Structure 1
Amino acid sequence: MNARAFDLTQLRTFIAIHDAGSISAAAEQIYLSQSTVSEQLKKLEARAGQPLLVRSRKGMRPTPAGTRLVAYARQIAALSEAAFEDLQGVLLDGELRIAITDYYRPHDVGRVLKRFTSLYPRLRLHVSAMQSSQIERTALTGEHFDVGLALRLMNGDVGADDGADDGAAGASTSATLVRRERLVWAMSATLREPVDMPLPLVTLPRPCALQTLVVNVLERHKVPYRVSHSAAGVAGMQLALGAGLGISCLNESALTPDLVVCPPSLGLPALPRAEFHLLPGRADETDLIRHARNALLRLFA
């Protein structure tokens, strides 16, 4: 290998650790052993000549060098894939409608889609933020979108009675997992303990299954609560939580700098994990949509 170049496989592993927040979570996502992932990170840091990730209470976080490198690594990986597709005669030219749950990496999804359009400038995107239940329910009709990314809840983590997948009943099981995250109880960093009871709860309207889960978990564990604020979407929930209007459940990547995970002293019940799935294509979809879905899968993951 060129002494002044990075190994593409190591860069991809580095991206996975950076995004997942830990070596174990990254290993799960990219289907490698933890020892292999750890070894690839060590080799990459040796090549870079400095640490790229360090351990913290919240998991692995990038050093200043790691923050700079991950931006390059994303571009290098995406360009490599785009070049391969170009040589295979794959040309994305036309319109594409994408439906995405707004729980998916709210701080990063715009950057991901911008990178996608820079790789395929002849593709015209129309992106809609939709509830996962609606995405799952209408996925097979193609009425509203061509490619869908939905959130599902992992039953079994806290008991089957606590909730259901954040999708319509009978949702497709052949969807592709692109990301897995913890769900956490979140509140403003300025909110002081003890928190008044009944618990002030910030919610989203039904049929958001994640919020339905929250209510089911609290009632099952006999935690008294009151709805202190109803938000229209995840962004509204983030603002309400940041303003100290209450407590709610969010996936980790939806936490903002002014939010913190609720301390154990509040005695809140355990929550399951969340998974983000790219829904499978329809039998009659075009080659354009199929190739675009594969390209998005690499970026979303």
Structure 2
Amino acid sequence: MSQRGFDLAQLRTFVAVAESGGVSAGAERVFLSQSSVSEQLKKLEERAGQPLFVRGRQGVSPTPAGERLLEHARRIIAMSEAAFDDLQGRSLDGELRIAITDYFRPHDIARILKTFSEQHPRLKLHVTVQPSALIDSSADDHASFDIGLSARLVTGQTRARGASAGAASIVVRREKLLWASCADAGTRPAAPYRLVLLPSTCQLQRFVVKLLDEHKVPYVVSHSASGVAGLQLALKAGLGISCLNESSLGGGVVACAANIGLPPLPAIEFHLLPGRPGESELVSNARDALVRLFA
């Protein structure tokens, strides 16, 4: 009787390629060569009996069959890791409070947290989405959250601080910052630029205003939003331009052209805040698990 089912290693590679949008980027995530990844995908498609990806000049995207398998693959991988952690005595059991910056992978964060819950079915998860400034200011407040994930600009000043604020935190992801606008804007934005901003408590928005002032770029504030979701809606509505990290684009919001007269932007890093003195083993183990999941 022929064996039914899929190879777990091939499913991991499939998920990595699907989520990164390309064979090269997926290969980096699973620490394999591009040729090995291509061979695994070929065998998986043969096993599935149908194409799982559409290949194009911009990378790969799942076919309808690939989308269906992607959902199954994520659950299979999560269950496998949950079983392993349970047998190793590392299964998370209890309640955990996580505070996450609203800049972090807004289109993917629900799926990521669902995967985390599936990997640890006995864990009761409480998640709040907050501005990074509030997360950083509450880093020592045990009553606010157990684990915090905040965003920080990567500038020369940041690197010079070295061993200060973020030295003991864990960098889980780095992304480009981009000038962003509505995908259907039609014409390129021109000076004076209409600017969509978040409150002045947002480090990134303060940086944007200072950067434009330093470069003597004319602008007017056309709209103020309370959070990243509101900023995305304002951009999609064509109310102006703003600065967003790469994973916050999409859904009608795109990067502006590089030659419209706006100054270049630095990168942004996402940090898991360091452990607090006397924190529980549950929180420490959960932080280790989230490092792998957030990367």
Letter of the 2:290 counterpart = L
Query: Which of these residues, 201, 205, 208, is aligned with residue 211 of structure 1?
Result: 205
Tell me if the contact between 2:75 and 2:118 (Cα under 8 Å) persists in the aligned partners: no
Is 1:193 the counterpart of 2:187? The answer is yes
1:147 equivalent in structure 2: 147
SS in 2 for 1:284: coil
Is 1:285 the counterpart of 2:285? The answer is no
Unaligned runs of at least 5 residues, structure 2: none
CA distance in 2, matches of 1:49, 1:171: 52
Letter of the 1:146 counterpart = D
1:268 equivalent in structure 2: 262
Unaligned runs of at least 5 residues, structure 1: none
SS in 1 for 2:65: helix
Is 1:16 the counterpart of 2:10? The answer is no
Tell me if the contact between 1:96 and 1:289 (Cα under 8 Å) persists in the aligned partners: yes
Is 1:231 the counterpart of 2:250? The answer is no
Tell me if the contact between 2:45 and 2:52 (Cα under 8 Å) persists in the aligned partners: yes
Deviation larger for 19-28 or 243-252: 19-28
Tell me if the contact between 1:136 and 1:171 (Cα under 8 Å) persists in the aligned partners: no
Deviations 1:175-205 (A, max 9, x none): 3343333322221122231434210111111
Label 1:235 to 1:198 Cα distance change in 2 as closer, same or farther (>3 A): same
Tell me if the contact between 1:90 and 1:291 (Cα under 8 Å) persists in the aligned partners: yes
2:117 equivalent in structure 1: 117
1:60 equivalent in structure 2: 60
1:248 equivalent in structure 2: 242
Deviations 1:110-163 (A, max 9, x none): 2322343344343322212122233234334434111112223333xxxx37xx
CA distance in 1, matches of 2:170, 2:31: 13
Tell me if the contact between 2:195 and 2:222 (Cα under 8 Å) persists in the aligned partners: yes
Deviations 1:4-24 (A, max 9, x none): 433323322332332233344
- Residue 61 of structure 1 and its aligned partner are, at CA, apart by 2.5
1:184 equivalent in structure 2: 178
CA distance in 2, matches of 1:223, 1:60: 38
CA distance in 2, matches of 1:143, 1:200: 40
Percent identity (aligned): 58
Letter of the 2:123 counterpart = L
SS in 1 for 2:15: helix
- Residue 75 of structure 1 and its aligned partner are, at CA, apart by 1.0
How many pairs align?
293
Tell me if the contact between 2:82 and 2:118 (Cα under 8 Å) persists in the aligned partners: no
CA distance in 1, matches of 2:12, 2:174: 17
Label 1:175 to 1:217 Cα distance change in 2 as closer, same or farther (>3 A): same
1:130 equivalent in structure 2: 130
CA RMSD in angstroms comes to 3.1
SS in 2 for 1:266: coil
TM-score (structure 1 length as normaliser) = 0.82
SS in 1 for 2:226: coil
Q: Counterparts in 2 of 1:88-127, with a 5 A limit?
A: 88-127=88-127
Letter of the 1:195 counterpart = P
CA distance in 2, matches of 1:277, 1:34: 29
- Residue 209 of structure 1 and its aligned partner are, at CA, apart by 2.2
SS in 2 for 1:201: strand
